Amino acid sequence: MIPSPETARAILTRLLEMGVYALVIFGAVLAFRRVFHNKTRPALRFGFWLLLLLRLTLPVTVTSGIHLIVLPAAEPTATTLTARTEASAQPARPAAVTDPTTRPTGAPEAETAPIGETQAARTFAVRLRVSQWLVLLWALGAAAFLVRRVWMRGLLAARVRTSARVPDPETLGEFRRLCHRMHVRRPVRLLEMEDITSPALTIGLRPKVLLPSFLAEEGRAEARRFALLHELTHLKRGDDLILLWYGVLRCLWWFHPVVYLMEKPFRMDMESACDARAVRGMSRQEKLAYAALLLELSGEGSL
């Protein structure tokens, strides 16, 4: 359903305002990271990215009487055009029976509008149609990106169903003990896969921790524990839900460069915040072993 011209203009105005504010926040976050990168906690740096996501989500803007984006207001000819359309939609009144010669049969009852006024009304109507088509283009693009994202997640889910298996009882017991120690309340499954090279936490309402098969081998107990600890820390922080949120915003803001430019630093700060929380309470030797595992798995993608 195509919105009315007034509604389309309001939607475009809101999108433009939110987009400009998001661009300003993005620049501020990058400047903050560059200046205070080694002087602030990773969780604080990641928190600023959440502010950007909120800006892209909430259509509410604190008003101060000054607007960054103001689309042209409706011209007075719109009222004339609407009134003329309504008048033409009414049925013509029949001619008086007592005097059939007062007006020729079939003659138009309404007066013809001046040429200049008719041209102005047509120009205004065309401009309104452009705003409606822009909103329609935005909605179709968001739907297309959303369908593509759902399809990709479906392919990954099918891959997990066909190639994942339940790990051995010892690994499962270690995983459950970690969940209990970390007070993980959300239900989560542990699966083992041979065709992945890095542990991963799936994104969705039913998360799964995927463990590479080489980490389930004998002699990798410490590395396996660190890998499970890292992914459960992501789960405890709700990073999988944040990535789901970010994915939806990428579909809605498919035309905005910010959602693409922010992805790499956004994920880097997320991983840094997760690592900083995971190593709390570790000894120096354990931290070195944890860092060694990260170096071993560096450069590998995750689901």
CATH topology of domain 164-297: Zincin-like (3.30.2010)
Ramachandran bin of 116, using left for φ above 0, alpha for ψ from -120 to 50, beta for the remaining angles: alpha
Residue holding tokens 């409706």? 74
Residue 302 and residue 11: Cα distance in Å, rounded? 36
Residue holding tokens 């105005």? 13
SS3 99: coil
Output Rg (C-alpha) for the chain, integer angstroms: 30
CB 203 within 8 A of CB 243: yes
Q: At residue 44, what are phi and psi to the nearest 5 degrees? A: -70, -45
Q: What is the pLDDT of residue 218?
A: 78
Q: Report domain extents, the chain.
A: 164-297
Residue 215 and residue 224: Cα distance in Å, rounded? 5
Amino acid identity of 147? V
Residue holding tokens 């970010």? 246
Q: CB under 8 Å to 291, separation ≥6 — which residues?
A: none
CB 60 within 8 A of CB 17: no
Give me the tens of pLDDT residue by residue for the chain, a chain 303 residues long: 778 888 999 999 999 999 999 999 999 999 999 998 778 899 999 999 999 999 999 987 655 444 555 555 544 444 334 444 444 455 555 544 445 455 555 545 545 555 555 565 555 455 557 888 999 999 999 999 999 999 999 999 999 999 999 999 999 999 999 999 999 999 999 999 998 989 999 998 889 999 999 998 878 899 999 999 999 999 999 999 999 999 999 999 999 999 999 999 999 999 999 999 999 989 999 999 999 998 888 755 444
Report CA-CA distances (Å) from 296 to 42, 142, 191, 271, 280: 22, 38, 21, 15, 21
Residue 161 and residue 69: Cα distance in Å, rounded? 48
Q: How much is the pTM? A: 0.77
Residue 263 and residue 259: Cα distance in Å, rounded? 7
